[in-house]
Amino acid sequence: MTPAYFEYQNAVKILCGQNALDRIPDELRQWGASRPMVLTDAVLMKLGLAELVVDLIRAEGCPPASIFTDIPVDSSLGVVNRVAAVFREHNCDSIIAVGGGSVIDSAKGVRLVLSQETDDILSLSGVENISAGRHVPFIVVPTTAGTGSECTGVAVIRNEAQGVKMEFLSPFVEPDAAVLDARMTLKLPARATASTGIDALCHAIEAASCLQKNPLSDAHATAAISLIFQNLLHVVQHPSDSAARLQMALAATLAGIAFSNSMVGGVHAIGHALGGVCHVPHADVMAILLPHVMHFNLPRARDSYASLLPHMIGMDAASSVPEEERAQAMVNAVSHLTEHLHRLAGLHLRLSDLGVKEEDMERVAETALNDGALIVNPVALDRERVLDLLHRAY
Amino acid sequence: MKRILQKLIVAAALRLVHAALVELCKLDPYVHAQFCSLPNGTSYSIYTGHGAPVLHVRWDGQKLLRLKEVRERATCELHLKSLADSFLMFTGQIGLAQGYARHAFSMQGEIADVMRLARLVNRAEAYLFPSFLSRRILPELPSLPVPSLRLYGHLIFGFLTRSYS
Ligand SMILES: [Fe+2]
């Protein structure tokens, strides 16, 4: 059903496919930029992925004015403020983020600080509360196929003082361009391929079943689920299949556009809290929580889940499932997929495997209740219910 | 004329929500606990449209005070994007979740503070609105420890004795 009112926004130009990376210098030129700052992390430097981008833009006559390689796995507000200062020190004029969720979201924060001409990202926290500001050209090169952050209007950054993940929601958080090039995900290990793929699946499922869902977000979400169904298991087993890698990158971007326009839900609310309190990797937590939260949401998400089944298991298989059993079949299909990925790639299935401690659960539950994603979860979640879900996933 | 009427209704609704929260803080242990979890001095400002009513409140550790004016920014500011949106929300036609889904308001501050306020407002709405209306706008009807009539009794007494100004 079409909601009485909804909004849709996606202003990100998507450069997708063969030699996409090589187009970055021209994109910068079109924005009038010539002194980019490259943001990445130490692991990507070591793998040579950041270097690949740096070499390409150098060869095309657009050498970086600064390369910042110290974005931590679990970035924070402090890191964002420091990087913005380095950007100013080196007189950079644009940002190229090469990395996964932490690098991309940090870069979004840096861009916000610069465009709003402030020194502290914390002063900008809120929802749709800032105006356009100064334009700082911003290109994102994702190195995982999961976060979708390259196409979203939200940055999730850890507040180290409070031990919580903070969300900054604004259309001006969206990058100018996202570069999807299979070369960037070819070296992704099997388990990370699996967990980030499930993160993308989670974005699509939550986007298509939360209270903010709308026909345009649904279209992107279902397209993402179909691509994940067709490619995730394959790419885990055949990691060097460039075509399948690109399909997964596209799936993650589609899912990103979906949830950027309809939000996520309980999996992400609890996942953000686990990330903030226990410092566990986002994608791993998503893979563990998704089946449990879907099972919990089932009574209120029956129609949404049923409509996703053909995308999740294929039209033929779905048509043989009686209509009244399709929603439950969707939940089962997600469970089976994570179990299959556990056997194939060692995907974690329990929070205890990630080192989450039982004594942290109370704090995680309290933190999750204050996460913005909870407001649109189809079923109301209170402290007891979150604790119950955490124990089931433990 | 329609706009003036909407402003009057929204102004009355803002006062009612504030008064209900003051009373529920005394009557409902859940609401009391939620308020007690707020740092002293936490303040909220709710703007309901251009030239439309505004509600400024501050939790002083004991009571939710309504402020006539504010000198500094509230901990959390909610800006309803139009009077039409405010009217829908404050007359129970849409709930806070639907308002959020419709991008009906922008917010300055930490999302955690909006979530705290959302829990309180949802609870107040569960008391104030008849259940057929609450069922439509709340994700779930909470079980309430105090009957709505008792709250209304306290509110009538409170308004008559000018306890909320
Ligand atoms: Fe995610």
Task: Express each pLDDT in A233-281 by its tens digit.
Answer: 999 999 999 999 999 999 999 999 999 999 999 999 999 999 999 999 9
Query: Is residue A83 a contact partner of residue A108, using CB atoms and an 8 Å limit?
Result: no
pLDDT beyond 80 at B165 = no
Q: Are A126 and B109 in contact (CB < 8 Å)?
A: yes
Backbone angles phi, psi at A375, to 5 degrees: -65, -30
Q: What is the pLDDT of residue A283?
A: 97
> Which residues from A are below 8 Å from B103, CB to CB?
7, 128
Report the alpha-carbon angle A208-A209-A211, nearest 5: 110
**Domain edges within chain B:** 2-160
Q: Are A128 and B103 in contact (CB < 8 Å)?
A: yes
Chain B contact present for A378, CB below 8 A: yes
Give the percent of chain A with pLDDT over 70.
100
Ligand 1 mean position, distance from CA A196 (Å): 8
State the architecture of A190-393 in CATH terms.
Up-down Bundle (1.20)
Q: What is the pLDDT of residue A216?
A: 98
Question: Which of A192, A200, A236 has the alpha carbon at shortest distance from A220?
Answer: A200
> Which residues from B are below 8 Å from A262, CB to CB?
101
User: What is the average pLDDT across B114-135?
Assistant: 92
Tell the CATH topology of A13-184: Rossmann fold (3.40.50)
Tokens of B68: 């006539």
Cα–Cα distance for residue pair A238/A245, rounded to 1 Å: 9
ipTM: 0.92
Q: What is the pLDDT of residue A163?
A: 82
Q: What is the pLDDT of residue A5?
A: 96
The torsion defined by the Cα of B11, B16, B21 and B26, in degrees rounded to 10, comes to 150
> A167 vs A152, which has greater pLDDT?
A152
CB nearest to B103's CB, from A4, A7, A211: A7
Q: What is the pLDDT of residue A1?
A: 80
Q: What are B53-108's pLDDT values in tens digits?
A: 999 999 999 999 999 988 889 999 999 999 999 999 999 999 999 999 999 999 99
State the architecture of B2-160 in CATH terms.
2-Layer Sandwich (3.30)
Q: What is the pLDDT of residue A165?
A: 84
Q: Are A129 and B100 in contact (CB < 8 Å)?
A: no
Chain B contact present for A3, CB below 8 A: yes
User: What is the average pLDDT across A164-193?
Assistant: 95
**Domain edges within chain A:** 13-184, 190-393
Lowest mean per-residue pLDDT among A1-5, A143-147, A175-179: A1-5
Q: Which residue of B has its CA nearest to A167?
A: B111
